Structure 1
Amino acid sequence: MNSSSISMVEKPPKSATLFVLKVSIVAALGGLLFGYDTAVIAGAIGYLQVKFNLSPAMVGWAASSAIWGCIVGAMFAGYLSDRIGRKKMLIITAFLFAASAIGSAIPNSLTQFFIARFIGGLGVGAASMLSPLYISEIAPSRIRGTLVSLYQLAIVVGINLVYFINMRIAVQNPESWNVEYGWRYMLGSETIPAVIFMALLFLVPESPRWLVKNKREKEAFTILEKVNGPEKARQVLDEIKEALSMESGTVRELFKPGFRIALVVGVVLALFSQITGINAIIYYAPEIFKSVGFATDSAFSQTIFIGVVNTLFTFVALWLIDKAGRKSLLLWGVSGMILCLFAVGICFHFQFTDGPWLLIFILGFIACFATSLGPVPWVIISEIFPTKTRGVAMSFCTVILWIGVVLITQMTPVLLENIGGAFTFWVFMVNAIILLIFTYKMIPETKQRTLEEIELSWKH
């Protein structure tokens, strides 16, 4: 048995596991702010429409203002994190979240609101690649999948939390008060978790791999010792140094034969995590649920119900991702998504919308997504790139992901209008089939392997 195999079974002290868990939870709060910021608009947009007398087109503009910020934030976060460090960039994202929350709560015009939401989008886009990146670079290989998946869990928790807060604000006050003030409280409530996130970030260390890359080995070793225990820390440090010595550190390296495949894997996972229909189902599920007679009196209760299913099955993913593996979860989860999308299409095609089956298949799709295509792409994308260019590569993949969000948000209403519900969901099904084949053929299993071992595997 070689040294790398031995390292797989060695377990660091409990204090080391507790330390890395605490650090990962703090970093994952970026996901909570991600979910909070992107979902808070759902409760506020109706009141904003009345307050500013918005046309349907302007409603869409106001709702999507943060998404455009996400694309820009993801585009530059990787480059900046490679330059100034992962921790500093995470602190900047926390500041952007807080500034956006305050700015979104006090505007007197739609332009002011758009600017504030765009600033929040910068934070969401940056956090969407920085949090999993940071966790992957500090976590030990044996539990890295679980710890990075905490980020996806935090997104789901953030969405559920803000739906609950929105509901409490909306139902406890009259319509006129909500039009004037309620939406301001909804959007401004994000200030509290943003400030908590910022304060906690000052207590966590910098990424040890970023420190080694910047010739700060003593600091890196101290952190690795806390994470892995003293026996393993030196070995991991030597592996990092060896891997860095073989990297050019240029973007061109990502297009060389080995890493070119890694880049394709990252891009395909990022894009197909969106164009297989998750956002279409979440955005339009309330109307679908009304059509089958479920919770017609409250859109808020419907979204909370969806969130509960999403949350429960995200825990399943956390339990399995370092046991069953990333590839296995993708194969089984995407297969389940394909079956559910086919069944949803059948329900629409034959108009089986007055019974429980449509609801069952929609929730089945959400459950399959939550155990696979929700957390796994974040994990794999954070693992497969070389240290010197990991930030830039993850930025590129995350930008593609957000472009996928824009495409699916814009195209779903068009598809529903022109080809109907059945064929819309069958389009998503075809995309899922493409992803399933790609996963089987192209995606390697990365569980229980150090980042350096994964990096070397692309070169062989």
Structure 2
Amino acid sequence: MAPPRLRGMLNIGLQLMITVGIFSANLVNYGAAKIGGGWGWRVSLGLAAVPACIIAVGSLFLPDTPNSLISRGLHEQARRVLRRIRGTDDIADEYDDLVAASEVSCSSVTVRRRPWRDILERRYRPQLTMAVLIPFFQQLTGINVIMFYAPVLFKTIGLGGDASLMSAVITGLVNIVATFVSIAAVDSLGRRKLLFQGGCQMLVCQVIIGTLIGVVFGGSGEDGTTIPRAFAVCVVVFICVYVAGFAWSWGPLGILLPSEIFPLEVRPAGQSISVAVNMLCTFAVAEAFLPMLCHMRFGLFYFFSGWVLVMTLFVAAFLPETKKVPIEKMTVVWKTHWFWGRFATDQQGAHTDVAHSKVQTSNNIDV
């Protein structure tokens, strides 16, 4: 529903709300930890029902997108929703473009309502690769290690229980503030610059954090070892810098990029694959972290820094810039790329040319 010039900013609003939710959860945990009688963790888990109820009730009032309504033949409802989200009755041109794009998607000889089969075709190979690797890389930045287990991690490096929870609250606040930076910069600087800069920042921070912890603990991991206060403060500072780098790069853009690279005919399958990979990797990292921390100690940060190096080089070589490119013209981005261009077949180009000829004012919309 977002216009191309604001698509990045509006999409990252999702990530902003996620960071607010994480910060709120950290505050709840910090307060619940002070409840005596062993009830704190019950209160913490029970309060998760509140946002769940809000989501359930709110979903009853959430409208479908105009594009979805048009594809199902509900044209009058589509017009009403479009007027509502644009705040004007002057929606004729945009509505006609949406109808034309929907007709192209539904009437193409190569599109037979088989998005899960079609997405495996060679011409969609670049988008499918990004839909898998971007969420995969996002989780291997190590951010979930920080955000899920910050209290455990901080306690491991020598901070007390309350101090570790407060440090987790601080990182949550940094996460929120840095996300605003991404909102302000993503549609001007572009996706590639933010991802590359954020990757370099996270790489440096993880190497420094691993080295600081390694200097104190070494490889033995003996119980009772405590980290000097100055070292603990340095670790917390660099973790905050690391979180900031993630929050204005791989955090929001890991959600934004898969949402804007797929053509209409395979977008449901592409989005589903991206979300599924994200959830699977989140689960795997969450389950593996504690055993890895016990065995690898400070080497865990070197492990994730190695992945950050790989994903940063991947972005520099293989990710095209997509800022301000209308969704229906996104195919051109892949056709002109030095590597992915070889996957753009003549059949795809012909299909894209038909779409462009039917959509006359696409610069004003986001199909």
Give TM class, smaller chain: 0.7 to 0.9
Contact conserved, 2:198 with 2:246, CA < 8 A, in 1? yes
Decide which structure has greater helix share: 1
Of residues 73, 81, 103 in structure 2, which corresponds to 1:241? 103
- CA-CA distance at 1:290 after TM superposition: 4.1
Which amino acid counterpart does residue 152 of structure 1 have in structure 2?
A: Q
Aligned equivalent of 1:148:
11
SS at match of 1:351: helix
Which amino acid counterpart does residue 44 of structure 2 have in structure 1?
A: M
- CA-CA distance at 1:207 after TM superposition: 1.6
Aligned equivalent of 2:129:
264
Determine whether 1:336 maps to 2:201.
yes
Call closer, same or farther: CA 1:205–1:283 in 2, change over 3 Å: closer
TM-score, normalization by structure 2: 0.77
Of residues 447, 454, 459 in structure 1, which corresponds to 2:323? 447
Of residues 306, 312, 323 in structure 2, which corresponds to 1:436? 312
Call closer, same or farther: CA 1:175–1:301 in 2, change over 3 Å: farther
Call closer, same or farther: CA 1:443–1:245 in 2, change over 3 Å: farther
- CA-CA distance at 1:212 after TM superposition: 2.4
- CA-CA distance at 1:448 after TM superposition: 1.3
Task: Identify which range, 221-230 or 325-334, moves more after superposition.
Answer: 221-230
Call closer, same or farther: CA 1:169–1:411 in 2, change over 3 Å: closer
**How do 1:249-398 and structure 2 match up within 5 A?**
249-250=113-114, 251-290=116-155, 296-351=161-216, 353-354=227-228, 355=231, 356-398=233-275
Determine whether 1:163 maps to 2:26.
yes
Call closer, same or farther: CA 1:447–1:372 in 2, change over 3 Å: same
Cα separation, 1, equivalents of 2:296 and 2:52: 42
Aligned equivalent of 2:36:
174
Aligned equivalent of 2:289:
412
Which amino acid counterpart does residue 78 of structure 2 have in structure 1?
A: A
SS at match of 2:324: coil
CA deviations over 1:427-447 (Å, ceiling 9, x no partner): 211111111121122222222
Aligned residues: 317
Cα separation, 1, equivalents of 2:290 and 2:327: 41
Cα separation, 2, equivalents of 1:145 and 1:283: 26
Contact conserved, 1:163 with 1:300, CA < 8 A, in 2? yes
Task: Identify which range, 339-348 or 365-374, moves more after superposition.
Answer: 339-348
Aligned equivalent of 1:212:
70
Aligned equivalent of 2:302:
426
SS at match of 1:323: helix
Call closer, same or farther: CA 1:168–1:345 in 2, change over 3 Å: closer
Aligned equivalent of 2:342:
none
Q: Quick one: percent identity of the two aligned structures?
A: 28
Contact conserved, 2:154 with 2:164, CA < 8 A, in 1? no
Task: Identify which range, 345-354 or 357-366, moves more after superposition.
Answer: 345-354
Contact conserved, 2:30 with 2:162, CA < 8 A, in 1? no
**How do 1:121-136 and structure 2 match up within 5 A?**
none
Aligned equivalent of 2:50:
192
Which amino acid counterpart does residue 139 of structure 2 have in structure 1?
A: Q
- CA-CA distance at 1:380 after TM superposition: 0.8
Contact conserved, 1:225 with 1:233, CA < 8 A, in 2? no
Aligned equivalent of 1:400:
277
- CA-CA distance at 1:157 after TM superposition: 1.1
**How do 1:13-28 and structure 2 match up within 5 A?**
none
Call closer, same or farther: CA 1:190–1:288 in 2, change over 3 Å: closer
Cα separation, 1, equivalents of 2:159 and 2:45: 28
Cα separation, 2, equivalents of 1:427 and 1:232: 52
Cα separation, 2, equivalents of 1:221 and 1:446: 28
Task: Identify which range, 403-412 or 148-157, moves more after superposition.
Answer: 403-412
Call closer, same or farther: CA 1:226–1:284 in 2, change over 3 Å: closer
Cα separation, 2, equivalents of 1:292 and 1:414: 16
Which amino acid counterpart does residue 302 of structure 2 have in structure 1?
A: W
- CA-CA distance at 1:244 after TM superposition: 4.3
- CA-CA distance at 1:268 after TM superposition: 0.4
Bigger radius of gyration: 2
Contact conserved, 1:243 with 1:452, CA < 8 A, in 2? no
Call closer, same or farther: CA 1:268–1:384 in 2, change over 3 Å: same
- Structure 2 residues without counterparts, runs of 5 or longer: 218-226, 335-347, 350-367
Cα separation, 1, equivalents of 2:147 and 2:328: 37
CA deviations over 1:295-317 (Å, ceiling 9, x no partner): 65344322211111111111111
Contact conserved, 2:32 with 2:44, CA < 8 A, in 1? yes
- CA-CA distance at 1:265 after TM superposition: 0.7
Cα separation, 2, equivalents of 1:442 and 1:159: 32
SS at match of 1:424: helix
Contact conserved, 1:210 with 1:387, CA < 8 A, in 2? no
- CA-CA distance at 1:414 after TM superposition: 3.2
Which amino acid counterpart does residue 275 of structure 1 have in structure 2?
A: L
Contact conserved, 1:321 with 1:329, CA < 8 A, in 2? yes
Call closer, same or farther: CA 1:439–1:397 in 2, change over 3 Å: same
